[in-house]
Amino acid sequence: MKHAEFYQRDRNVHPPALTPNYKTSAARSPRYAPISLQNSLSEITGPVFGHGDIDPIDRDLIRNYAKDGDPVGERIIVHGRVLDENARPVPETLVEIWQANAGGRYRHRKDTYLAPIDPNFGGCGRTLTDENGYYYFRTVKPGAYPWRNWVNNWRPAHVHVSVFGSGFVQRLITQMYFEGDPLIPHCPIVQTIPDPDAIEQLIAKLDLNATIPLDSIAYKFDIVLRGRRSTLFENRLEGN
Amino acid sequence: MPQTLHYLRETASQTAGPYVHIGLAPGAAGFHIYDQELGHDIAGPNARGQRIRVEGLVIDGTGSAVKDVLLEVWQANADGYYAHPEGGKEVEDGFRGWGRVITDFETGEWGFDTVKPGAVMGRHGRPMAPHLNLWIVARGINLGLNTRMYFEDEAQANADDPVINLIEWERRRATLIARRDGERDGVPRYRFDIRLQGEDETVFFDI
C-alpha cells in the first residue's frame, strides 16, 4: 500500500518559537532548529473519532452547562468548514473549543480575574465536522480580559480552537478572533504571527446570512489544515 | 501573467494558553461537563503486548518544571500498526493509540499507562524502532512541539532507527531515549523528561 505525504508546513505562516513580546515564550522556546522529518506512517496517521465519543449537546455552550437558565452575554453561532490546503473538506474530524464567559472570566481554578463566574456557562464545546467538513457551535461572545505580560495588556475576545485532521501532522491549536475588535493589533499573542495575512485568517467575519433572527448573531470561521499530495508517483513512502 | 495557484494557506497556530484544560481536560480545570473526557485510555482493555507506564517532566530554560502542559501521545499497537484506516492492519477492539495527559499543577509530573508499541515500518521499507509520538502544547509555546520517545531497552533497534540516525549530533540522540525506571506491580516504568531549552534540549521534529 502506498501512502500520500502531506505538504511541508509553511513555517512562515506560524509564529516562531521565541517571541520576546510574549514573555512566557522566552523560557519555553527551543533554541535549536527542529529536525525536518519526511512523513512516515507515524506522521500520516492520527486518531479517529466517532459519534460515540461525543454527545450532540457538546456543541451547544449555551445549554451544555446551564443550571437554572441561559448564560449571560451576546448569543452567537460560530460556524465554518475545516478544509485542507487543496480546499478539500476534512470530514468527521474532531473540533474542540474553549473560551472565557461574557465577562472575560474562565471557569478555571487558576483564573482569578475579578469578573464573575457565570453559573450557567462552562466554556467548552466539541463536535465532529460533517461529510462536507462543516461544523457549528452555539455559545456567547467571550469578553476581553487583562493578563500579566506587560503591565497593561488585554486579550481581544477570542475562542480557542483545537482540530485534529486525518493525520497527526495536521494537529493544530489556534485562536479565533472577532471582526472589528480594536484590541487585535495591540495583543502580543496575536502579534507573535509575523504575517498580516495569516493574522487576518484568524479573524472570524460577521455572517449576517447565518444569524438567527431575533435570537443569535453569527460569525464564520473556516480552518485550513495542511494539504496532502495526490500525484501517485510522488507518493512512495515505503518499498523500493 | 502566469496562472494563479489556488492553494489555501494553513491556519496559523496560536498558543494553547494557560487554560487549555477547560477545553481539553475540563475535569482538571475544576468542573464536570462531559460524560466522557477523551484520551484517558490509550490502549484499551484488549491490547496485546507489554503494559507499561511512562512518566516525566517538561522542563523550561530556567530548569523549572512546566506545570501547565498538555501532552498528547500517538502510537502503534504491540504489532506496530496504527488504529487508522491507513495504519496497516486491523488493531485490537478498543485500541485507539491516542492519549492526552496534563501535568500536575503542583509538581509538573505527567504520566500515562499504555502498552509498548512494536516496530513500525518506515520509509523505503526500513523499520523504525518502537516509539511514541508526542505533541506538547502549553502557555508560551506558540506552535505545538513534536518529538518522539524511544525505549532504552531497544538499543539495537534504536541504533538502526532511520529517524534517530537523521540527527547529526550523536549526543543529542540520547534526548529521545526513555530510561527504564524499575517496575511497579509488574509493570515496567519509563522515565522521559523533556527539556525545552538548555544543554540537553530535547530534539524536536518539524514533521
pLDDT in tens, A154-173: 999 999 999 999 999 999 99
Chain A residues with CB inside 8 Å of B83's CB? 47-48
Angle at A145 between CA A139 and CA A147, to 5 degrees: 135
Reply yes or no on whether the pLDDT at A221 is more than 80.
yes
Q: What is the pLDDT of residues A35-58, one digit of tens each?
A: 999 999 999 999 999 999 999 999
Region A76-95 average pLDDT: 97
A60 CB neighbour count, 10 Å cutoff:
17
- For testing the chain B interface, which of A6, A24, A101, A139 should be mutated: the one with the most B CBs within 10 Å? A24
Q: What is the pTM of this model?
A: 0.96
One-character DSSP codes across B48-87:
-S-EEEEEE-EE-TTSPBPSS-EEEEE---TTS--SSTTS
Sign of the C-alpha dihedral computed for residues B10, B11, B12 and B16 taken in this order: negative
Percent of chain A with pLDDT over 90: 93
Query: A186 an active-site residue?
Result: no
CB contact set of A174 (below 8 Å; sequence gap of 6+)? A160, A161, A163, A202, A223, B11, B12, B13, B14
Distance from CA of B141 to the nearest CA of A (A): 6
Q: Among residues A181, A185, A188, A189, which one has the least CA distance to residue A142?
A: A181
Q: What is the ipTM of this complex?
A: 0.96
Q: Give the pLDDT confidence score for residue A4 in this predicted structure.
A: 86
Dihedral sign of CA atoms A25, A6, B102, B114 in order: negative
Q: What is the pLDDT along chain B (207 residues), one digit of tens a residue?
A: 899 999 999 999 999 999 999 999 999 999 999 989 999 999 999 999 999 999 999 999 999 999 999 999 999 999 999 999 998 899 999 999 999 999 999 999 999 999 999 999 999 899 999 999 999 999 999 999 999 999 999 999 999 999 999 999 999 999 999 999 999 999 999 999 999 999 999 999 999
3-state secondary structure of A190: helix
Contact flag B14-A17 (C-beta cutoff 8 Å): no
What is the least distance, in Å, from the CA of B181 to any CA of chain A? Answer: 26
The pLDDT assigned to A235 comes to 47
- Interface contact B15, partner A, CB < 8 A: yes
Average pLDDT of the segment spanning A10-15: 96
**Per-residue model confidence (pLDDT) at position B193:** 98
Assess whether A145 carries a catalytic annotation: yes
Rounded Cα gap, residues A150 and A88, in angstroms: 41
Whether A142 shows a pLDDT value over 60: the answer reads yes
What is the predicted pLDDT for the residue at A230?
A: 78
pLDDT recorded at residue B88 = 80
Residue whose C-alpha cell reads 500525484 in the numeric block: A231
CA distance A3 to A185: 42
Q: Looking at residues A189-202, what average pLDDT do you find?
A: 98
Model confidence at A65: pLDDT above 60: yes
pLDDT band at A231 (very low <50, low <70, confident <90, very high): low
C-alpha cell at A111: 483564573
The residue of chain A with its CA nearest to that of B75 is A42
Q: Which of B43, B57, B198, B73 is nearest to B146 (CA)?
A: B73
In eight-state DSSP terms, residue A37 is -
pLDDT digits (tens, 9 = 90+) for B128-139: 999 999 999 999
